[in-house]
Amino acid sequence: MPSSTVAPRPLSHTSVADPEFSERYRAMQARDARFDGQFITGVHSTGIYCRPSCPAVAPKPTNVTFYLTAAAAHEAGLRACKRCLPDAVPGSPEWNLRDDLAARAMRLIADGVVERDGVPGLAARLGYTPRHLTRVLTAELGAGPLALARAHRAQTARALLTSTSLPVADVAFASGFGSIRQFNDTIREVYERSPLEVRAAARVHERAAGGGDRPASSGSVDLTRPGPNGIVVVAGAEPAAGADPGAGVVRLRLPARPPFDAAGVFGWLAARTVTGVEASTLTADGAPRFRRTLRLPGGPALVAFAPGGDAGSPSIEIEARLTGLADLPPLVARVRRLFDLDADALAIDGALAAEPAFAASVAAVPGIRVPGCLDPHELVFRALIGQQISVAAARTALGRLATELGERVAGDEALGLLFPDAAAIAEHGADVLRGPAARIRTIVDVAARLASGDLVVSSDRERHDLEARLLEIPGIGPWTAGYVAMRVTGAPDVLLTGDLALRNGAANLGLPREPRELAAYGARWAPWRSYASMHLWRSA
């Protein structure tokens, strides 16, 4: 079973006696796909790095170094394997499980902060100097923030090159590169090929696999045949009025780590749809489909999600109309968090199934996920408005708020509103919100703090620090603080014992119902108490 923790250093042949090196080497020898994305195998005799399940002959231990990131392998002078495509797997669950500086930095890098704000901006978001951040990341992950961001851009670029017919210049800027020259130099260094050669090699691979040539225009791509990276982009669609000329409809397939309870996440989202902002429907074959408007760094977007793949290779299919292609990387990062795609489901299910009360639930719903969020500020208001009222009542209140204060955008017959931002709620929320005056004061106060930057709620926050800051605000209690931390940061070990439905679920399973007793009993479920919470809610 995959390990739940990873040592914060490269493990090389000098660490042969290290049990962690031995465990990874055995996984590599067995070509165990469960470890794909959790670490990278660097093979110095060939100068490449691979996923653990690479079908190539296993190298000798003396030629192997295990890395946490592709950037560390790049810094060691290695290039990506052309056979196993190590970039085309779910991401490491470490960046959700860990809550240290390195993990928080990785979440921000995936969201494109370095491309938008540079390393100084990344360091400022994390509360450190650029020098200290670089020193910590190099020691922990084997590469500094610039190298980590460059590796992320290179992986995105290779994905677009091999899966789409987008012009190379569009691929460069959609991947976050600042210039064509920088793009060309990076691709050559990482993959030992020019961008056009990377694309040509993918075409040859497709023909050899019997797939035939991709049409000259990727305006109609069959999503049942995604590229090897799992990402498909549809270019050529007309952008929205006033949008970037590079905008258009983007289709992606993001792989999930199996098993994956997609139905559970879609059901959670469907039960909480906000009219005008979100819509939940079923496709012709009965599969769930969820659509919504969303703010991205470059402007508004209209996105749709549906489950894809099969039980052995699950995925989420996305269709998005973006203001500009530069919004593609942050969209991918946020969707991965929303659907908890990188969770180590086998380790979580194995740990929770050892609890007799959970055994039947785990067997019935393998791969349960903790839904994240696409917009942390929106999640805060959902939590504040939804506390101590029913889900239906919260939907009504949130729908009224969106109708009155939400920005109107070009959408379709069901979607035409962006959820109101903090500044709008701070200014006009008291005129729109209904309910106890104390609750309204809290919501408006939080909105003002978010709008001014006095309160920062984002995926890079340290969970306990975020909870502490929220609890300092009058009107916010442990349930709200814990719920926001769990869904915004992806914290895997939150047990919301103050939640009435969760306690009812515990009672249904024969577990303690009182908060203090349930908290004490639930300590045995660490570090997966957030996932235990999902099983308890389900049992309610």
Token pair of 447, please? 């909105």
**How many other C-beta atoms can be found within 10 angstroms of the C-beta atom of residue 492?**
25
Containing H/E element for 67? strand 64-67
What is the spatial distance between Cα 163 and Cα 229, in angstroms, rounded to a whole number?
7
Burial, 518: exposed, middle or buried (Cβ in 10 Å; 0-12, 13-18, 19+)?
buried
Give residues with Cβ within 8 angstroms of 94, minimum separation 6. 5, 6, 38, 68, 103
Using the 8-state DSSP alphabet, how is residue 421 labeled? P
Enzyme catalytic residues: 50, 499
Instruction: Give the residue among 66, 71, 76 at the shortest CA–CA distance from 143.
Output: 71
Q: Going along 239-355, which residue ranges are E strands?
A: 248-255, 278-282, 288-296, 299-309, 314-322
Query: Can the peptide bond before residue 259 be classed as cis, meaning omega within 30 degrees of 0?
Result: yes
Instruction: Give the residue among 227, 204, 206, 239 at the shortest CA–CA distance from 327.
Output: 239
Task: Report helix, strand or coil for 252.
Answer: strand
What is the spatial distance between Cα 338 and Cα 188, in angstroms, rounded to a whole number?
33
The angle at the Cα of 265, spanning 260 to 271, to the nearest 5 degrees, equals 160
Give residues with Cβ within 8 angstroms of 532, minimum separation 6. 352, 355, 358, 495, 522, 525
With contact defined as beta carbons under 8 Å apart, do 91 and 36 qualify? no
Give residues with Cβ within 8 angstroms of 104, minimum separation 6. 126, 460, 461, 462
Task: State phi, psi for 80 to the nearest 5 degrees.
Answer: -70, 140
Distances (CA, A) of 157 to 184, 187, 190, 203, 325: 10, 8, 11, 16, 12
Residue type for position 193: R
Integer distance in angstroms from the first to the last C-alpha of the chain? 30
What is the spatial distance between Cα 209 and Cα 282, in angstroms, rounded to a whole number?
33
Residue type for position 240: A
Residue type for position 15: S
With contact defined as beta carbons under 8 Å apart, do 264 and 368 qualify? yes
Helices of type H across 339-375: 345-353, 356-364
Q: Could you tell me whether strands 417-418 and 288-296 are parallel, antiparallel, or unpaired per DSSP bridges?
A: unpaired
Token pair of 228, please? 């090897």
What is the spatial distance between Cα 103 and Cα 125, in angstroms, rounded to a whole number?
13
Bridge partners of 249, per DSSP, are 321
